[in-house]
Chains A and B, each alone.
Chain A
Amino acid sequence: MKLHRPANRHLLLALALLVLPFVIDALFGHGWVRIADFALLYIMLALGLNIVVGYAGLLDLGYIAFFAVGAYTYALLGSPQFGLHWPMYVVLPLGALFACFFGVLLGAPTLRLRGDYLAIVTLGFGEIIRIFMNNLNAPVNITNGPQGISSIDPLHVGTFSFAGQHELFGIGFSSVHQHYYLFLAFTLLVAFVSLRLQHSRIGRAWMAIREDEVAANAMGINTRNIKLLAFAMGATFGGISGGLFAGFQGFVSPESFSLMESIMVLCMVVLGGMGNITGVVLGGVLLVVLPEVFRHGAGPLQQALFGKIVVDPESLRMLMFGLALILVMLWRPAGLWPSTQRRRELMPDESVAQQEQDTVYDSAK
């Protein structure tokens, strides 16, 4: 099998992704498969935000609000809260639709704003959504306030519940494994859509707006609609991810949707490499897995080195996270794995002739 052939490479990647949960389970234990599930949810979020920030260049600091809308839609329509138990294939699209609606709601009045103003308005929007979820328990109890909503229905299709044990071909699949495959399917769908969008007419319009909105407008791009579309698409993906999160976790509370989470997702996008899907996926994996490694490793390591816990692992974990953000940005301002185009833009020492040649080469490819 020749590895450099794209088809073979894809086949190998698919195989690796399929057996991954079992490998993780065998090597590190059950808990880590759960972390892999969360990593997939975050990758979905990061890919959604990548459309808004990476493609269209609109800095969104309240992205987690759409995740929250999706999650609460699922929670309200599939839990004892209102006694509704709608099936997943109705609630998930509904959550995505609601999130999309909120995306447009946020996008419509803010389209005239740019850069940092947009950042602060989206940030405010995210906080508003969170505060409402925190307080909509009185006088009419809708969201159950800070306690959140619990015993949410597990993700299920008909009688098949993703939370139950199942057996196929003699292999036992537990809840975390089944969720892994479900989330993988959705993540691949989101990645596929992003990939196809990237070089489509819409994707090129987004990038034109990112580079120079006035010029894009002059070229006949309807900047208003195209920007709205970016917001709506990003929000939709966030909503899907949120619905899956609620069903997987079985519990939602406003605490899961704080500004820190928005920042976390933004860091995945920027750290990994804005606008580049592989980079964003890498960012998502790193930012979910590394802190967990730290959480599990820092305590025992300190025990071994000093014989006692010197620093609380939880705060050490966040400290390391902050330091990593600073160092990676200082070392690679365009992210760990930037898109080729951005890398070229950021190479000041490369001669113009070389750049032009590259462009010609790219278009001939």
Chain B
Amino acid sequence: MDIFLQQLINGLVQGSVYALVALGYTMVYGILGLINFAHGEVVMVGAMVALTALQALLAAAFAPVLAVLFSLMLAVAACMALGYGIERIAYRPLRNAPRLAPLITAIGVSIVLQNLAMMIWGREYHAFPLPFNNGLHEMGGAIITDVQIVIVLVALVMMAGLMGVVHRTRMGRAMRAVAENPSAAALMGVDINRVISATFMLGSALAAVAGLMVSANYGIVHYYMGFMLGLKAFTAAVLGGIGNLRGAMLGGVLLGLIESLGAGYIGDLSGGFLGSHYQDVFAFFVLIAVLVLRPSGLLGERVAERA
């Protein structure tokens, strides 16, 4: 059963990344009812900034652990600034515009970021330097690397931290209030603009961490990496019930598992007719099935019609 275990591990690792990115989508959607299409690019920018910082720090002979930590902090800071900027420029002026207008600006931001990244970092694939030895561990016939263990652990810590922020702090309470009913929250003295900015920055910080994770796991950074990742993460958010934090986490991990198990077994299941390159199809099929059977997602509550 080592293939099963191996795919389970791969799925779990990939799913943790999806979950972190999906949280960014779901928080923004919960508060603004908006698909932040540019979120995948934020992940990419996080990875790129981390890469550049890591290269520079390692060249300056920093201790490996410190270098990784510093570049992570730098990436998080850059992404938070970026998230804040995106919201200010592309979404805030359109808060009362027709629903499709912010979607188009989101797509615009996504295109701009991709091409800016291409101009700055070039078209080529960059190797992501790992400053320490990536040890392999054997677990019941399957192999897991140090990086993968760290990814799952960090993802867990980040998610627990986010839940803490949302459920234990004043800002978190304000966020939940705005998600529930913006005008009522405003009447109660919540500064909506501040809350929305904070949401974007929080989501972007998670995206930066996710960006570093993917790059470390695959060892590759590319200006186009954010697009498909963002798409999958959004899928995960919808799968779990968009607007729902626990749903995003569950959806992310589930999507990762479904994808890797699906890719691992689709060949056997279809008698060799379909191969593992149908991995993406698998994810989308499951998504469609879930939405058709349970349109509000796995953990989403059934919302009454908004007139």
Q: Which A residues form the contact surface with B (CB < 8 A)?
A: 53, 59, 109-110, 112-113, 115-117, 119-121, 123-125, 127-128, 131-132, 134-135, 138-139, 212, 214, 259, 263, 266-267, 270-271, 274, 311-312, 315-316, 318-319, 321-326, 329-330, 333-334, 342, 346
In the assembled complex, 25 residue pairs joining A and B whose CB atoms fall closer than 8 Å, in A order, are A109-B292, A110-B292, A113-B291, A117-B291, A117-B295, A120-B238, A121-B291, A124-B288, A127-B231, A128-B284, A135-B277, A212-B307, A214-B307, A263-B107, A267-B107, A270-B104, A318-B111, A318-B115, A319-B116, A323-B108, A325-B104, A325-B107, A329-B94, A334-B97, A334-B98
Contact between A132 and B287 (Cβ–Cβ < 8 Å)? Answer: no
Q: How large, as a class, is the contact surface on chain B?
A: 35 or more
The contact of A270 among B101, B109, B277, by CB within 8 Å, is B101
By beta carbon, the residue of chain B nearest A119 is: B35
Which residues of B pack against A, CB within 8 Å? 29, 33, 35, 89-90, 93-94, 97-105, 107-112, 114-116, 118-119, 231, 234-235, 238, 242, 272-275, 277-278, 280-281, 284-285, 287-288, 291-292, 295, 305, 307
A326 vs B148: C-alpha distance in the bound complex, in angstroms?
38
**Interface SS, A side:** helix
How far is it, in angstroms, between the C-alpha of A346 and the C-alpha of B100 when the chains are bound? 13
A115: B residues at CB distance < 8 A: 99
Chain A nearest CB from B109 CB (Å) reads 6
Sort A-B residue pairs by CB-CB distance and give the 7 closest, nearest first. A325-B108, A322-B111, A124-B284, A333-B97, A322-B112, A326-B108, A333-B101
Listed residue (A121, A134, A274, A311) with the most chain B CB atoms within 10 angstroms of its CB: A121
Nearest chain B CB to A308 CB, angstrom units = 15
Bound-complex Cα distance A110 to B284 (A):
14
- Interface of chain B: mostly helix, strand, loop or mixed: helix
Bound Cα distance from A76 to B297, whole angstroms: 38
- List B contacts of A322 (CB < 8 A): 107-112, 114-115
Contact assessment for B119 and A116 in the assembled complex, using a CB-CB cutoff below 8 Å? no
**A127: B residues at CB distance < 8 A:** 231, 280-281, 284
Q: Which residues of A contact B90 (CB under 8 A)?
A: 326, 330
Please report the C-alpha to C-alpha distance between residue A121 and residue B239 in the assembled complex, in whole angstroms: 11
The residue that A274 contacts in the complex, of B33, B100, B277, with Cβ under 8 A, is: B100
Contacts of A121 in B (CB 8 A): 287-288, 291
Pair B108/A138 contact, Cβ less than 8 Å? no
Q: Are B105 and A329 in touch, CB under 8 angstroms?
A: yes
